[in-house]
Structure 1
């Protein structure tokens, strides 16, 4: 994909997306002093919010909550030399089974595969601190389908959105935090399924809510989350690729004027900091929608080589 190297946030495939906005912690000095001369000086942080693409090159497959394949063992010129292990992968099968759900029915899953998937999905969906799974199941039974997923988040879920008065101290605090701070409590303490627990959990409401083969989960949780996040990033940052852009001309109009807006910053310089933060507070998790309709009306396979060269505007 020639657009993967865009410095702006791309619409990655939903299960690989890592969409998260940060207030630039390195903006020092007078507000607005580092901005374009076309931007007025303001006494807030509206020009400090940026988007970025993190390309996480992980390889992981979880099969039926039973088998985990992690790593990348390619057959190529390096791996066929016979004198080194350049391509390594690991296959994990667990004989300890735990209760779960698959396609709406009770299912015995492998402990390692199931707990790994649950941890990753909760992270992708912004549900690491979510606890009221029974209420979520009841609400989704009765709510009509919509693009917005209403899940209250703890006030500390997005500490980076609070205005900072001491960037240097913020950096020191983040560096001092424990590496697993963002992991949920279950993954940092004894396993939820440890056999020495006195009480075995026979009903898993979180597993039922995150049933991978459930239409209810896909439409009411997974797709809602991706759609909501995509809409907000589109509105704030005009990220590309984007499904609303079907031609090169639409791409040119969609990208903010570089004379008015710095690369990767909020597209509308007239937005106030409060408006920006209110929008960012609606983002949960990392999921966004894959842009399958981007440039769909352009013929990208012309008859001659010169016609296949993508315009420079796409890469700048």
Structure 2
């Protein structure tokens, strides 16, 4: 007990010291004349000039592109000891870093003001509920509405004083949408405008829907029962839209990209991989597993749903200390693009936590183009939005490996990417490249997940197979040189024969709703 009291006393002393240091940087006295600006922080907070400024052994040795915990692989090891940011969490000599793919955007004008007001509302509600009488957390007051933002003048500044990126903006209609409720922002009526926007855009789409998201957990049922755990109906909207296109004889494509595995620490098929298996269970239940899954319902109406919808992911490879290695690219984006004319970009995952409003708090923007270029859609001339169309083309070129450095491929493929729903692009380019890349990876590496593993008992057998990266490195490198881009197929038959999830003892007490 005496030792515990000494530890508590030492902690309190450290807390008081830290608070005093913060107060010395930012004064909260009423009569203080210090103006808090970015320049103030640059002058007040010591900056790290070089490695010798940090008394940390982890920075010694060879130069590092990602320092300390910036070099991470969440499936191998989640973050620990965050108070030691320069300490490695994984062995960078043997474990490849997990790359991320993300999409964000900058908005100016009315939409930016609405994003700021959303932040102010959240801040003030949190202060009211948790720090009402703590003066160091100020109440935030929104600025007045202004109408003087034009294409030649941003916030009243001459053009030569405006950052270059703000002069290359696209003129669009932009609306801020949110998932907020009583706990997050203090409103009585829950706002779920993000899921409303998703469903409306899907219903109104005429040619294609392109989705990148961290999760795909949704409901396909028209009528929900009280026992249905998943509530949001984005998958049902996709089902109805595809079915309408099929019955009307229209060409309609849905591109859905999600990570090969959720970014949770653990191994599939073991008690350490409960979180991974739970998320995958709900992802696959939405996509293909069970009678109420999206593909199962479509298969009852359409002979070949793969002509309307496809599920994909991203993977990369390199050499690490002379060894061939591969790792999934973790898709962290939360975007939807429809018809090259409308985009939704923000923080909302496709699951109940992000979409229902009364659970996690999220914010997005829905963007409708007002300026257009002329391209093709299903081999016919088409007005493509300058923002949404260019974003979609950029993402597809990236995933297909169509880079400016490869001029021959660039010239050959660009015209095909311009028309995303033509049979040639859908079958001979997008799906063909995803399939080819997938097959090469599975011949060279023991990749997980894979369609070759349909039961948990198959995992060790599959991982024990001899693969080219060990048996014939020269041939493996030759095959890997044929991979273009990062696009691969999502293995829809992975663990298809498994029903039960292996739980650790403590995970049995976690409510299922936490995963949805």
TM-score (structure 2 length as normaliser): 0.35
- Counting matched residue pairs gives 201
Q: How does 1:85-96 map to 2 (within 5 A)?
A: 86-96=361-371
Shift of residue 218, structure 1, vs aligned partner? 0.9
Shift of residue 87, structure 1, vs aligned partner? 1.6
2:314 counterpart (13, 18, 26): 18
Q: Deviations over 1:246-298 (max 9, x none)?
A: 233432211137xxx9xxxx6652223x22221211111111111111222x2
Matches of 1:299 and 1:280, distance apart in 2 = 32
Match of 1:292 in 2: 492
Unpaired runs of at least 5, structure 2: 1-214, 216-259, 268-275, 288-309, 349-353, 505-516
Q: Secondary structure at the match of 1:93?
A: strand
Matches of 1:270 and 1:88, distance apart in 2 = 49
2:428 counterpart (220, 231, 247): 220
Q: How does 1:74-113 map to 2 (within 5 A)?
A: 74=354, 75-77=356-358, 86-113=361-388
Q: 1:293 to 1:78 in 2, by over 3 A?
A: closer
Asked if 1:271 is matched to 2:472, the reply is: yes
Native 8 Å contact 2:312 2:489 kept in 1: no
Matches of 2:479 and 2:383, distance apart in 1 = 40
Shift of residue 18, structure 1, vs aligned partner? 2.5
Matches of 1:3 and 1:97, distance apart in 2 = 37
Matches of 1:223 and 1:6, distance apart in 2 = 30
Q: 1:310 to 1:221 in 2, by over 3 A?
A: farther
**Rg: which structure is higher?**
2
Whose helix fraction is larger, Structure 1's or Structure 2's? 2
TM-score (structure 1 length as normaliser): 0.55
Q: 1:49 to 1:7 in 2, by over 3 A?
A: farther
Matches of 2:476 and 2:468, distance apart in 1 = 11
Q: CA RMSD in A?
A: 3.6
Structure showing greater relative contact order (alpha-carbon pairs closer than 8 Å, 6 or more residues apart): 1
What stretches of structure 1 move > 6 A for 4+ residues in a row?
10-15
Match of 1:211 in 2: 419
Match of 1:309 in 2: 502
Matches of 1:118 and 1:228, distance apart in 2 = 21
Native 8 Å contact 1:256 1:267 kept in 2: no
Unpaired runs of at least 5, structure 1: 28-44, 80-85, 138-205, 302-307, 312-316
Match of 1:126 in 2: 401
Shift of residue 61, structure 1, vs aligned partner? 0.8
Q: 1:118 to 1:90 in 2, by over 3 A?
A: same
Native 8 Å contact 2:433 2:484 kept in 1: yes
Native 8 Å contact 1:210 1:217 kept in 2: no
Match of 2:442 in 1: 234
Q: Secondary structure at the match of 2:315?
A: coil
Matches of 1:19 and 1:93, distance apart in 2 = 31
Native 8 Å contact 1:133 1:209 kept in 2: no
